[in-house]
């Protein structure tokens, strides 16, 4: 027989236990019934951003939520002394304004309430944070409320984030049942590594759902309208929002102000980090991302934004044009006490060409542009559509605003400019858009106003019924847990991963100087050509102080000489690439004329990219239909990996020319779902393919490069294979990642009819000098072993590599 439970034998204990449970349940229910209070703690409350925008945004939140059952307390904090801080905050609170449609008396009443609910305190030590937490708890209990949550808005420099986060986490978290939201202002790192480091440190204190990284552009009304606009106009846009109909997309932010007073920040970040990596990239993803089925789901929106990044083609040096207003270096010298000889390389203007390699956007140029001291202050996104119409009647007979021959465009006018306000504009010859009638109204006609080449009357134009400041919008979204208006950790790191390689490549680039304002004229105009950007006008000499003695390309002609007893051709990079491309085309034409086909083996890496682009766009007589393309070497990664040499060849050449697919021969590094496994015999397979298709395994032309350690192809110093012997194709090990490689051997390379070695950049000057003096020592300097048995070796070096 089972033992009888103790509480059955002791009914008094049972009654006491049940009473305690009931009291606990009742207390919990009563607590849930109590009105909730949210405490908002603004750190850096006396700073510039807080005084200009954040206190007004908090007041706007109070106006929105008052009377809806929410209770608030606003704690302004800073390192400033209590007396000073209170004085500053009092002035700020007095300057707060209400919406225009609010009665003055009602405004004064609510403003007085907000002032009563706001306080200032110094917040510096862990003890200060603990005291703040206890004061909040005591005040909530005293007023008979329950704590709903706490918002910490960190309007402070990023170097202070980690200490503040540690103090919040250890001493100032709300109790059980209440939420925590921590708001962070940019910059979120300086590059990918620093962003990863900061994200890891913050992630050790807060959960992802607790962090709200602010990009104030996401709070701007027109930017926030991009996804709803696309959603509400799906029927009209589904067939238009793609590469078949969009000619290009422009994302622009122009400023008239300079960086005076902010040069310490600007010297560290520059225009790309300050504007393009965050604001313009966020806008780009909103335009380019696939539209979720439900745009009201923050999770779906954030996931689709993140999915846009893998399709972004990696940025190269030629993806950018840079400028700097002339007075900038002088401002830096004054503010940062730099010597008179100091000249900053920090760009204050940048134009960037972005390509998105997916089915929707392939081939469509996305142009991101921002700069200081330009001719006007304006921000917009412009989607320009292709015009396939041909109008027989002359322009004077076209129907105003309706003709299919007029430009067709959608403009998200973010703000400022001649229009002067945020607006969404759609060409009348495109479609009549749907916008929410409650929040948007048609823009009144303004005779004489022209936007992007058309009168305002040629657009369906809509503006917000009531304009709102971006920070007011975002503070409301923080309160309502609208995470899709903020930058997640994954999104942040994806953006930095995209931008960091370009920033590294531009670190020593000299920006074009410009006078500023209307005087810029056409100096900063740039154009798209062959997948890269370049300034439209040559650089006037008078805008290059201190460079009077620098040689110009016109001072030199193509230099012909000898290098290691073989022909050397040296020139400026553009001339050198043009010469090499011309020589390759000439060799191809000769081979096809004599043998019916041309076998070209190409190296990977960054140096040949400009050559590939030149061949793709400037050589229309090239016999591509009779050309076989082979790889000299390959990294042991899948062929679709961005690190793959074949992927680089595909991106910069193959997708632009008509080479029969059966004439393209990638290295078989990925066989049987494995990478470069010896037992898969990839090297033997490639060697057999070469022997079967290339007469005597002798390529018509092999293009090589030279590494800073003297390696060529993927044949490295002291390599155990590939430098001699009978093998035609070998597996090798690189000192840099990815380490495993496949490469043509030196004996196979030396069977070629012609070998061209392309060497470019000042970084190659030292190895070029060294190799010029060494003998035949392939074990130490593999490039020294390149000497065709019966063919020709030609060196192509730019002046930086040859002359330094």
- Phi/psi for 293 (5° steps) reads -60, -40
**Across-strand partners of 494?**
none
For residue 531, the Cα-to-chain-centroid distance in whole angstroms is 18
On the CB side of 86, CA atoms within 13 Å amount to 6
Tell me which of 60, 71, 279, 477 is the catalytic residue. 279
| CA distances (Å), origin 16, targets 9, 25, 597 | 14, 14, 98
Q: How many CB atoms lie within 10 A of CB 195?
A: 21
Find all residues with CB under 8 Å of 541, minimum gap 6, and list them: none
Encoded tokens for 281 = 């990239």
CA atoms of 480 and 486, how far apart (whole Å): 12
For residue 55, what are its two tokens? 């206190």
CA 325 to chain centre: 23
* CA end-to-end span of the chain: 99
Backbone angles phi, psi at 252, to 5 degrees: -130, 140
User: What is the C-alpha to C-alpha distance for residues 777 and 784, in angstroms, rounded to an integer?
Assistant: 6
Contact between 569 and 796 under an 8 Å Cβ cutoff? The reply is yes
Q: How many CB atoms lie within 10 A of CB 334?
A: 11
CA–centroid distance for 288 within its chain: 13
SS (H, E, C) 138-197: HHHHHCCCEEEEEEEEECCCHHHHHHHHHHHHHHCCCCCCCEEEEEEECCCCCCHHHHHH
Contacts of 246 (CB under 8 A, 6+ apart): 240, 361, 364, 383, 384, 385, 386
Q: Locate 274 and state its tokens.
A: 């300050």
Q: Which of 629, 621, 693 is nearest to 659 (CA)?
A: 629
Cα gap 612→212, rounded to integer Å = 44
The 3-state DSSP class for residue 95 equals: coil
- Determine contact, residues 423/413, Cβ cutoff 8 Å: yes
279 is catalytic: yes
Buried residues in 485-512 as b, exposed as e (16+ CB within 10 A): bbbbbebbbbbbbbbbebbebbeeeebb
DSSP codes joined into one string, 454-513: EEGGGEEEEEESS---HHHHHHHHHHTT-GGGSB-HHHHHHHHHHHHHHHHHTTTPPPEE
CB count, 10 Å around CB of 90? Answer: 13
Exposure string for 286-295, b = 16+ CB within 10 A, e = fewer:
bbbbebbeeb
| Cα 156 to Cα 77: distance, rounded to the nearest angstrom | 11
Q: Which two tokens stand for residue 613?
A: 């682009």
Distance (Å, whole) CA 307 – CA 302: 9
579/573 Cα distance (integer angstroms): 10
**605 neighbors 741 (Cβ within 8 angstroms):** no
DSSP letter at 356? B
Q: Are strands 754-759 and 118-122 parallel, antiparallel or unpaired?
A: unpaired
Q: Which residues are catalytic?
A: 279
């Amino acid at each position: 027989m089972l033992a009888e439970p103790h509480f059955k034998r002791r009914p008094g204990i049972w009654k006491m236990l049940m009473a305690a449970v009931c009291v606990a349940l009742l207390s919990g229910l009563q607590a849930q019934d109590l009105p909730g209070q949210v405490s908002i703690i603004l750190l850096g409350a006396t700073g510039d951003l807080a005084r200009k925008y954040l206190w007004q945004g908090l007041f706007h939140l109070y106006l929105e939520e008052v009377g809806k059952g929410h209770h608030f307390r606003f704690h302004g904090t800073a390192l400033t002394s209590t007396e000073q801080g209170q004085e500053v905050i009092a002035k700020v609170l007095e300057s707060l304004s209400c919406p225009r449609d609010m009665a003055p008396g009602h405004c004064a009443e609510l403003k007085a309430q907000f002032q009563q609910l706001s306080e200032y305190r110094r917040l510096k030590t862990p003890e200060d944070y603990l005291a703040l937490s206890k004061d909040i708890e005591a005040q909530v209990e005293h007023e008979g409320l329950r704590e709903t949550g706490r918002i910490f808005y960190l309007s402070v420099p990023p170097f202070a984030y980690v200490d503040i986060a540690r103090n919040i986490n250890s001493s100032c978290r709300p109790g059980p049942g209440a939420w925590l939201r921590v708001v962070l202002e940019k910059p979120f790192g300086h590059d990918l590594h620093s962003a990863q480091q900061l994200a890891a440190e913050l992630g050790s204190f807060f959960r992802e759902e607790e962090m709200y990284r602010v990009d104030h552009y996401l709070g701007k009304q027109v930017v926030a309208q991009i996804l709803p606009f696309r959603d509400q106009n799906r029927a009209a846009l589904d067939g238009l929002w793609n590469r078949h109909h969009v000619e290009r997309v422009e994302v622009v932010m122009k400023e008239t102000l300079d960086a005076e007073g902010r040069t310490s920040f600007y010297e560290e970040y520059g225009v790309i980090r300050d504007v393009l990596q965050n604001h313009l990239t966020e806008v780009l993803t909103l335009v380019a991302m696939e539209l979720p089925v439900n745009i009201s789901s923050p999770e779906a929106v954030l996931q689709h934004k993140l999915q846009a990044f893998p399709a972004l083609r990696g940025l190269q040096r030629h993806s950018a044009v840079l400028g700097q207003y002339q007075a900038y270096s002088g401002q830096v010298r004054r503010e940062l006490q730099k010597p008179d000889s100091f000249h900053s390389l920090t760009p204050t203007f940048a134009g960037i060409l972005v390509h998105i390699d997916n089915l929707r956007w392939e081939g469509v140029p996305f142009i991101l542009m921002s700069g200081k001291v330009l001719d006007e202050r304006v921000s917009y996104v412009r989607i320009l559509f292709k015009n396939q119409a041909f109008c027989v009647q002359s322009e004077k007979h076209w129907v105003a605003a309706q003709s299919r021959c007029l430009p067709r465009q959608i403009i998200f006018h973010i703000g400022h400019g001649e229009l002067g306000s945020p607006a969404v504009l759609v060409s009348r010859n495109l479609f009549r858009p749907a916008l929410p009638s409650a929040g948007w109204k048609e823009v009144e006609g303004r005779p004489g106003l022209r936007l992007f080449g058309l009168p305002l009357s040629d657009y369906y134009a809509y503006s917000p019924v009531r304009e709102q400041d971006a920070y007011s919008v975002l503070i409301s979204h923080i309160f309502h847990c609208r995470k899709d208006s903020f930058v997640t950790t994954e999104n942040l790191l994806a953006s930095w991963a995209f931008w960091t390689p370009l920033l590294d490549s531009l670190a020593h680039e000299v920006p074009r100087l410009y006078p500023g304002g209307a005087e810029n004229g056409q100096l900063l105009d740039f154009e798209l050509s062959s997948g890269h950007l370049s300034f439209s006008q040559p650089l006037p000499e008078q805008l290059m102080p201190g460079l009077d003695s620098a040689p110009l390309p016109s001072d030199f002609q193509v230099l012909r000489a000898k290098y290691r007893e073989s022909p050397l051709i040296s020139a400026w990079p553009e001339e050198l690439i043009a010469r090499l491309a011309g020589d390759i085309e000439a060799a191809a034409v000769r081979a096809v004329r004599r043998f019916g086909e041309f076998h070209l083996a190409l190296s990977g890496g960054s140096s040949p990219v400009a050559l590939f682009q030149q061949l793709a766009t400037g050589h229309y007589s090239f016999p591509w239909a009779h050309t076989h393309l082979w790889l000299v070497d390959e990294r042991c990664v899948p062929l679709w990996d961005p690190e793959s040499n074949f992927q680089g060849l595909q991106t910069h050449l193959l997708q632009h020319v008509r080479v029969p697919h059966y004439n393209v021969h990638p290295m078989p590094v990925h066989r049987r779902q494995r990478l470069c496994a010896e037992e898969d015999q990839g090297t033997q397979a490639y060697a057999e393919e070469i022997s079967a298709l290339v007469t005597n395994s002798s390529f018509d032309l092999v293009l090589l490069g030279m590494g800073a350690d003297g390696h060529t192809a993927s044949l490295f110093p002291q390599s155990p294979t590939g430098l001699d012997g009978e093998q035609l194709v070998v597996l090798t090990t690189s000192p840099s990642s990815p380490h495993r490689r496949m490469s043509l051997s030196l004996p196979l390379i030396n069977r070629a009819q012609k070998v061209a070695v392309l060497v470019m950049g000042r970084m190659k000057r030292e190895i070029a000098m060294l190799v010029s003096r060494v003998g035949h020592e392939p074990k130490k300097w593999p490039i020294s072993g390149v000497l065709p048995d019966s063919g020709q070796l030609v060196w192509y070096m730019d002046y930086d590599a040859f002359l330094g």
